[in-house]
Structure 1
Amino acid sequence: MKKKGIGYASTFYGTGYGNGFPDESRATAKIENNGTINIYVEVSDVGSGGKSVMWQIATKTLNIDEKLVNVINTNTNSMKDSGTAAASRQTYNTGNAVLNACAKLRDNINNVINKTEKLSSSDKIKKIFQHMKKNNISTCEDGYFKANTSKIHEKDGQGNPYWPYTFGAQRATVIVDTETGKIDILEIVSVNDAGKIINPTLAEGQVEGGCLMGVGYALMEEVNLNKGKIKNTNFSNYIIPTSMDMPNIKSYFVEENESTGPFGAKGLGEPVMLPTAPAILNAIYDAIGIRFYELPVTCERVLAALKRK
């Protein structure tokens, strides 16, 4: 018999390293003599679209034609430390550093042209560059940002361990086959408050990838040990979800502006995967009335639990 269940879960997630650990990002915006502006920033793009986000922040802040901006992020000899691609921190932390560098450079440019004028051609930038050099106005500015967190006070538990927080909720709809123990996920609805979404397409991709990782955590991925040695050391026997396991995912964003973020943005990467497994477990309970406290919920574990029930 196939039984349908619906489950919900919610999360909040503090972005950045947190708890007073130094969490700093740096960037440099420089006008080149060929009529372009280079952004030197050590943003590690591990599939999250960080480079594209930095490019968008830069073009908006500089008020410049998008084709005239280059983001250079692969040569650590050319840039300062921006921290790791971890803790869902790059958009907020490093984005603020890029914004800071570009805002200072635009202020310098405003000494030469009207502050509302768009930088629309390389020829115009070349002329601006020459004028700035002639008048001893800096054509290169560094940007810096440090997250505002503090350690928790041991006596009273007070403090500011993380900032900002990303919020989310998910609904999972599943079908449980009580004869085979197989669990099929029909749909996941994901709603997230990550501040202003700078790139909606990339954000939607983050949600889809995070939800699928949550599916693997809930139903498939398991490390098997034999006397402390991992038995399933490759993807032929360590099972992860593929495109064939992708359920229908609907993503929605509540764009509450974060006043301290670049154009109101916060982090999104890791928070989207956190509610998925709990929502699936709640949906399984709704379908067959059994709580599972061990992951993954495999067919064998479902059948064993049904037998005990």
Structure 2
Amino acid sequence: MKKRGVGYASIFYGTGYGNGFPDESRAYANLREDGHIDIYVEVSDVGSGGISVMWQIAAEALGVEKDLVKVIFTSTQVTKDSGTAAASRQTYNTGNAVLDAARNLRENMHMVDEKTSEMKIDFAEGNPHCCDKGDMEERDSENSKRLKEEDLKYIYSKMKDCGLSTKVDGYFKADTTTINMETGQGNPYWPYTFGAQRVTVEVDDETGKVDVLDVVAINDAGKIINPVSAEGQAEGGVAMGIGYALMEEIEVNKGSIKNRNFSDYIIPTSKDVPHIETHFIEAIEETGPYGAKGIGEPVMIPTAPAILNAIYDAVGIRFTSIPVTCDRLLLAIAEKNQ
């Protein structure tokens, strides 16, 4: 007989290395003579969309056409240490370093105003433009335009004439401290990401099979810089959480892993993953780049406990260990009936 149940779970997750461990990111921005801007940053993109996020942050901060910005990330010979793609830290930590580099370059570009009477760079209301001061009224009517290639070429030449650097650094360090073991006080993580999920399951009490029918995933990761990428991460996290709760288990015999490949280490397929409804609560994180914070790992954490709660709702059995495989569920049902 198949029985349905609904379960909920909520989490909070401290992003970054935390607990006072040095958590630093570095980047630098370079305005080239040809009117293009290179952002050098050691962002390791393992499918999280980090490269796109850095590109978006830089283009927005500089106020230039997006195709004029390029992220250079492929060689440690030309990039500085930005830390690992771990602990859901890249958007917040490395994004802040890129933002700092972009703002420092923008500041140098803006200083041309003070050193020459020939041009004006207007960054008002986030819509910068560059022009001869005599043409200000004409260009002001087109204030929505971003800096173009010809603008940046002109700015580059004037910066060189004025002795202003066209290559600037960016740096960010997360603000955390160790925990005082006597008082329990401290600032172990910053910032925190929050999430909640609702899961509907169907439990077959004759076979022990659990089917996940529906998932609603809600996440607060601050301002979502790339909504499509964030939605993909949320859906991928749910898929991983399903495997974590129902299938994936490492079998060890005298220190040796027995199930070393995907023929006997079972992970979810597309048939195991249901419709996933995602929502984002964009509570702005004031210290993050444009209000953003990490979303990588938190998206998978609520799934397993929500599934366990849904199983309990369906058959009245509380599991405190995972995965809940068919044989374990059947055994628990038999014990309950006895």
Q: Is 1:82 the equivalent of 2:82?
A: yes
Query: What does the per-residue CA deviation read over 1:171-207, in whole Å, with 9 as the maximum and x for residues that have no partner?
Result: 1100001111111000111111111111110100010
Which aligned runs of 4 or more in structure 1 are off by greater than 3 angstroms? none
Structure 1 residue 110: Cα displacement:
1.4
Matched, 1:195 2:202: no
Q: Which residue of 2 is the match for residue 15 of structure 1? A: 15
Q: Helix, strand or coil: the match of 1:6? A: strand
Q: Equivalent of 1:240, from 242, 245, 267?
A: 267
Inter-partner Cα distance in structure 2 for 1:36 and 1:244: 46
Q: For structure 2, list consecutive stretches of 5 or more residues without a partner in the other structure.
A: 113-119, 130-145
Distance 1:205 1:134 in 2: 47
Which deviations, in whole Å up to 9, do the C-alpha atoms of 1:95-118 show, x marking residues without a partner?
Answer: 000000100101111133323234
Distance 1:24 1:191 in 2: 29
Structure 2: how far apart are the matches of 1:160 and 1:103? 28
1:308 aligned partner, one-letter code: E
Aligned-pair CA distance for 1:157: 0.8
Which residue of 1 is the match for residue 210 of structure 2?
183
Q: CA–CA distance in 2 between the matches of 1:107 and 1:228?
A: 57
Larger radius of gyration: 2
Query: 1:228 is matched by which residue type in structure 2?
Result: G
Partner residue of 2:193? Answer: 166
Match of residue 63 from structure 2: 63
Counterpart residue number, 1:302: 329
What is the CA–CA distance in structure 2 between the aligned matches of 1:114 and 1:128, rounded to whole Å?
9
Matched to 1:227, the amino acid is K
Letter paired with 1:36: H
Q: CA deviation at 1:161?
A: 0.4
State the number of aligned residues.
309
1:121 matched residue in structure 2: 148
Cα-Cα RMSD: 0.9
Equivalent residue number for residue 98 of structure 2: 98
Structure 2 residue aligned with 1:229? 256
Aligned match of 2:299: 272
* Aligned-partner Cα distance in 2 for 1:35–1:254: 38
Following superposition, the deviation at residue 271 of structure 1 comes to 0.5
Deviations 1:255-277 (A, max 9, x none): 00100000000100001111100
Cα deviation, residue 155, structure 1: 1.5
Provide the rounded CA distance (Å) in 1 between the counterparts of 2:75 and 2:216: 39
How far did 1:245 drift?
1.2
Which secondary structure does the structure 2 equivalent of 1:175 belong to? strand
TM normalised by structure 1 equals 0.98
Greater Cα shift, 146-155 or 109-118: 109-118
CA distance in 2: counterparts of 1:284 and 1:237, whole angstroms: 24
1:71-112 deviation digits (Å, cap 9, x = unpaired): 011111111100000000000000000000100101111133
The one-letter amino acid paired with 1:303 is L
**Matched residue SS, 1:205:** helix
CA distance in 1, matches of 2:193, 2:227: 16
CA distance in 2, matches of 1:207, 1:154: 35
Structure 2: which amino acid aligns with 1:47?
G
Write the deviation string for residues 206-229 of structure 1: whole angstroms up to 9, x where unpaired. Answer: 100011100000000011122221
Identity across the alignment (%):
65
